[in-house]
Chain A
Amino acid sequence: MISVSIFRMFHVSPAMLTGFYVLLAACGVLARTLPPRLRRAFLALAGLAFVARFFSATMAPALAALALLLWRVCDGGETLDARRTLAAAAVVAFGLGPACFGGFFAGYTHGHVRLQDLLTVMFLANMLKKSVYYVYERRAGRARSPAAGDFLAYFFALPFTVGSVIFAPSEAASRWEARSRRDDLLSGLRTLALAALHAGACWLLIRGGWTRAYDEQFLARAAALRWWQLWLIFVSTYVGVYLHRYALDQTCVGAARLLGWDVRGNYDWALFPADYADYWRRWNIHFRELLMALFYYPSALRLARRRPGRRETNLIAACFVTFAGAAVFNFVLHAAFYRPGFGAAYYNLAVRLALYEGFAWVMVSAAGIAEMRRRAAGKPEPGRWRRAAGVAITLLLRAGSVPIYLTDVPGLSWTVPVRLIAAAFGVPFRR
């Protein structure tokens, strides 16, 4: 039977999720009895308790060192000596971190990737992204030097131990208890319910009715599959990835809302974008905003001032800078937290990231230029049928890039994903 999944990553840990929900419910009740100034510190302590329960004990020294470094970075963001901070960050990320975490992550001691391993990677990656956000906002005058409670809450509060939501520090501060508790409660519960539905759908798609497929098994059978079977696999894998990411991230958002942060959602009907640029606007919104702030707006503004007449090439160049920045971010994070050098060698990480981000760069630039031309010509928004066609094409484009993320095959040539994509268009595939 054909499996619909070519990834190994969707192994939910019921113990971990149950633990999270129990702790969340307890915190939801307890936090309301505490005075406001203690509430956020309490939620940070709950987050640390969760980390201590489910993450490896060897993480403690690295986590403490990382926290101290982050505190220094956030506290002195405006006047920070960039060279010394980068050196310290490199020691923590590439030295102390992998020494404590190496070999534990990503399930290579378990035979497949488990959710709790994935969460550990995401949690640490988020801390690094958040520290970059903090420095950026401090330098831009958008965030103030944090009080200890704010700092702990931003990095360690219970909701942020799951998912990959990395909203801006200024937003975290302004949206804390911005609404009534009743609104927060209702909104949080609604979001958590939706996240649970997505998690259930993901579980059904990946486990229900189909055999669990691993990359090796998939590749062994790929040559025998027809083009439409490959497309079925790619599309359902992409939908599975979406359901999985939505479930995790919106669990974080729902939990945050429940506990007092009116955090914006990280997905906005991301399965139904009208074109590739629209997809990028709707998927992992918080990280996208960081990339926009760090890479897109500075380059787009500079180019627009220097060469105002070349709008289309300016857009292509600004998008290139943005996706190159995204690739560097992901490369550092992956390479830092698997093992020193391990991520780069084992996964062909650099090539895979270049392929993936390069594909996104071309697609987003093309969609942006089309949108620019439509507006310049004064044409109306696309009608219903055209929009439906755009949604279908974008879905296929997204699904078509799935083979780039074939991860768990040692020594896999970077040409294999490319040849798999070609096979979906009828070119015979040979491993």
Chain B
Amino acid sequence: MSTPQTRLEAHGIVVRRGGRTILDGVSLVLEGGQFTGLIGPNGSGKSTLMAVLAGLLVPDAGEVVLDGVPLARIDRRTLARRRAYLPQSPRAEWPLPVERMVALGLTPHLPAFGGLPAALAARVDAAIAQFDLGAHRYQPATTLSGGELARAMLARALVGEPELLLADEPLAGLDPRHALDGIGRLSALAGRGTLVLASLHELTLAARHATRLAVLREGRLVACGPTAEALTAGMLHEVFEVNACVTGAGTRTASVDFT
């Protein structure tokens, strides 16, 4: 299981694409046990930052360091065992049964040859139970509803018991009940010591559940800190260009009302 010492640092990340600067010197520190919400308008560079932090995209400048070791120097299989990544709107490309799709999360744990060892099969069972997928176990993953697929993908990401979870808009397209369920699970995961970073557009949910917020605007980090300090009406006006009223940020009764 994860240790509270897990520490992911980004130092001066710069990413350029076709003459445009997508990320412009982003530095931040994330630690185990924190649930950090990454917020910012569309096109502010959230997905790119997620990919860089996950080690899937090599930045043009700067580096990401995990527990003192640059990601570039960590073997891809070792990194895959420690870090889980969920892209935006993940989907299954073949109609695999849900249990086999969840088991794919154990790919970096598999022995060189042969099938799934019993110890790992037990982890699949546990993940299926934990994410309430028992009724869908043998259902083709392509026929799941949006909410069920989101749960199944989260089970896929967490079945390997990673120390870090980076999820890109895990609540996109979910109805309120499933969104609440999803963010509750992320928050509980961080409560058990995992480093959780999720990009979010649901500001009220972020205000209630995220312990910290990182705010991106046009490729720059404009705020990063505990939710109560980072989420202010002034920041929302500056970053999202909307007028909002923020009450109780960082508590379970927080609300963000647009005016």
Are A and B associated in one complex? no
Tell me the A residues contacting B by CB distance below 8 Å. none
